[in-house]
Structure 1
Amino acid sequence: MVTPQAEPELREIDKPTPGPGQVLLKVTAAGACHSDDFVMSMPADAFPYPLPMTLGHEGAGVVEELGPGVDTIDVGTSVVVYGPWGCGVCWFCSQGLENYCSRAQDLGIFPPGLGTAGAMAEYMIVDDPRHLVPIGDLDPVETVSLTDAGLTPYHAIKASLPKLHGGATAVVIGAGGLGHVAIQMLAHLTSARIIALDVTEEKLAFAKEVGAHEAVLSNDDAVANVRKITGTGGAAAVFDFVGYQPTIDIAMGVVGTLGDVSIVGLGDGKAAARVGYWAQPHEVSVRAPYWGSRSELIEVLDLARDGVLDVAVERFSLDDGTEAYRRLAANELRGRAVVVP
């Protein structure tokens, strides 16, 4: 990324050298994500990162070289990168919740591709070996998107698992890159009925292919149509992978008493106007989760090894990386775009 609100460019850069405590990865796959599109769309006066910046916060690779002092991982190990880097020592980081590090901003610590050079290159630097998770014989191209598109919905779903018992309903808004993975996770981890919402019949058919029991168009009639399925009880948990005002309004309209609303998508909507004693059923919890913990990434990879997750992937060469981002921005991808050097 060279300029805010402009397409990224393919450029030659020097091969990096790992410093003390760092690891050099030879990249085997890098995922393109809607978060990238969100960042690239930010105006110049609000852009928070130094430019130019190599994109790619979903990364997989093989350990190429170890910096001085690194002895906890071997050269040649196939790994994925845990993206939300933290300080490693605060209260949240000590639990593996580096996604909620309390010191990262003050210390100038940024995720790869979101402030630090990312994985959309042939090589990348990882700041610490603790941010690498070995994947064994898993295919890195099929696996790399799980570092965000798997970890993020998994983290959101885990918080609501106690409510997703038999007879309960889970609603997934947006059956794209994260949503189609969330549907598979819900189908495997819970006995809840799953209702998927999206704006096209094609996406709804895709949602049913990956495990949704019901599929409803996300339009002005969505709340009424979902309520026809759930009845007066409403949904026990709603996962909004879009995050714009219309979808948040749908989420707040279909959630039931004691239900959860997780706003995962990086849209511009707010639930504030719909939260209050008179605004929704009693004891509704509204969350805005971010990514997930290191231990949760390990759990997601275990689900992949068990054959639970089938991520829809469209491959692009590094030379075609700019086209991957064009397709992403135009919402023309069925699942995830993965760039392969």
Structure 2
Amino acid sequence: MRALRLNSWKSEPVLEDVPIPEPGPGEVLVQVSAAGACHSDLHLMHDFEAGALPWAPPFTLGHENAGWVHTLGEGVDSVEPGQPVAVVGAWGCGACAHCRDGIETYCERPDRAPVPGGGGGLGLDGGMAEYLLVPAARHLVPLPDGLDPVDAAPLTDAGLTPYHAVRRSNAKLGPGSTALVFGVGGLGHLGIQILRATTAARVIAVDPRESSRDLAKTCGADLVLAPGDDLVEHVREATAGHGADVVLDFVGSDETLAAGAASARQLGDITIVGIAGGTLPVSFFGVPYEASVQTTYWGNRRELVEVLDLASRGLLHTETTLYTLEDAGQAYRDLAHGTVRGRAVVVPHDSYQP
């Protein structure tokens, strides 16, 4: 089969022919319908040095995946061949306290996981291929009726990650509250929709690109702003001087973190989701009183079930730009140049062929 492989750190991925995996006991082989191209993959290609992570290339990229169950390993009876499924991306040990709670992103025994702190497309072979080997059936979520796998694939990260961040701050997003969103890209445009579908908050979106600000309006933002010296003033004016109850930073640069902290309300949440490498100094006078600053990473299986339900009901829609597997390298180049509208999604198969 064809697969887009990252063979070494600080290199471009290469489309290669590799053997089709055969599932062992407890494993499932999925025929990939679609795999999302995530901005974090660019960091894998260009920024990491040997030893920076507990795993290393070579591996197939693609950690946002959906498709159809193709072949079952011995002992698997929870899914059936031909069944459309989404793949939960973080693969923990399955036995520690966090994994038993379904929070495999924060597995406390990574030494017992298939790969420490990673999963498919993150140290192990991912879905930028015709087939994906999933090490346990618990990592599969059957798709609700009416939800196409091509639409489901990006939701496994680009939908799940903002959903987890929003739900974490749900108590602060009631009537009269304001959520401030930095970055209306692959995650941010879904974050706006999730806020609209699950909270009563007013939504302010910030992005330097006019096309992304237009997308924010389409997704339901109440106010759309461009970054600049007067950004914080505009946010304060729009919130009667209080500031934003919840700041969701899908960029994570020095500039967005500083603006988010300056725009936050006392007792608010400042949640850093993007990994642009910025830092936020925290001191007694550095952030509003009793403001909480946190990072989040991905989400859990239960939350993915909820995200897929929202999508199947038409409450959540991913703006996608589709690429063939042969053009997957171009998808990442477009992503690096900031020319992708919404989420880049690679489709290895033209149609389902059981």
Same fold flag (TM > 0.5): yes
For the aligned residue pairs, the C-alpha RMSD in angstroms reads 1.3
In the alignment, is the contact (CA less than 8 A) between 1:4 and 1:47 conserved in 2?
A: no
Q: CA deviation at 1:90?
A: 0.9
Q: CA deviation at 1:47?
A: 4.8
Q: 1:263 aligns with which of 257, 267, 272?
A: 272
Rounded Cα–Cα distance in structure 1 between residues aligned with 2:329 and 2:181: 29
Q: More deviation in 13-22 or 101-110?
A: 101-110
Deviations 1:174-226 (A, max 9, x none): 01100000101111111211100001222111101110000111233322222
Aligned to 2:183: 174
Q: CA deviation at 1:106?
A: 5.9
Q: CA deviation at 1:78?
A: 0.6
Q: More deviation in 35-44 or 140-149?
A: 35-44
Aligned to 2:46: 41
Aligned to 1:113: 121
Aligned to 1:80: 86
> For 1:231, what is the secondary structure of its paired residue?
coil
Aligned to 2:99: 93
Aligned to 1:290: 297
Aligned to 1:4: 9
What amino acid maps onto 1:132 in structure 2?
L
In the alignment, is the contact (CA less than 8 A) between 1:29 and 1:140 conserved in 2?
A: yes
Rounded Cα–Cα distance in structure 2 between residues aligned with 1:226 and 1:201: 18
TM-score (normalised: structure 1): 0.96
> For 1:261, what is the secondary structure of its paired residue?
strand
Aligned to 2:149: 140
What amino acid maps onto 2:162 in structure 1?
P
Q: How many pairs were matched up?
A: 339
Deviations 1:106-145 (A, max 9, x none): 6434211010100000011001000000114311111110
Rounded Cα–Cα distance in structure 1 between residues aligned with 2:49 and 2:222: 43
Change (3 A) 1:279 1:6: same
Q: CA deviation at 1:12?
A: 0.8
Rounded Cα–Cα distance in structure 2 between residues aligned with 1:220 and 1:299: 38
What amino acid maps onto 2:31 in structure 1?
K
Q: More deviation in 122-131 or 59-68?
A: 59-68
Q: Does 1:315 align with 2:325?
A: no
Q: 2:309 aligns with which of 284, 302, 306?
A: 302
Aligned to 1:30: 35
Q: Does 1:278 align with 2:285?
A: yes
Rounded Cα–Cα distance in structure 2 between residues aligned with 1:276 and 1:257: 14
Q: CA deviation at 1:323?
A: 0.7
Q: 2:60 aligns with which of 12, 35, 54?
A: 54
Aligned to 1:64: 70
Aligned to 2:3: none
> For 1:31, what is the secondary structure of its paired residue?
strand
> For 1:180, what is the secondary structure of its paired residue?
helix
Unaligned runs of 5+ in 1: none
Deviations 1:27-74 (A, max 9, x none): 111110011111111243345333221000001111111112212211
Q: Does 1:224 align with 2:208?
A: no
Rounded Cα–Cα distance in structure 2 between residues aligned with 1:332 and 1:21: 41
TM-score (normalised: structure 2): 0.93
Rounded Cα–Cα distance in structure 1 between residues aligned with 2:93 and 2:232: 42
Q: 1:125 aligns with which of 133, 138, 141?
A: 133
What amino acid maps onto 2:64 in structure 1?
E
Rounded Cα–Cα distance in structure 1 between residues aligned with 2:10 and 2:235: 37
Aligned to 1:19: 24
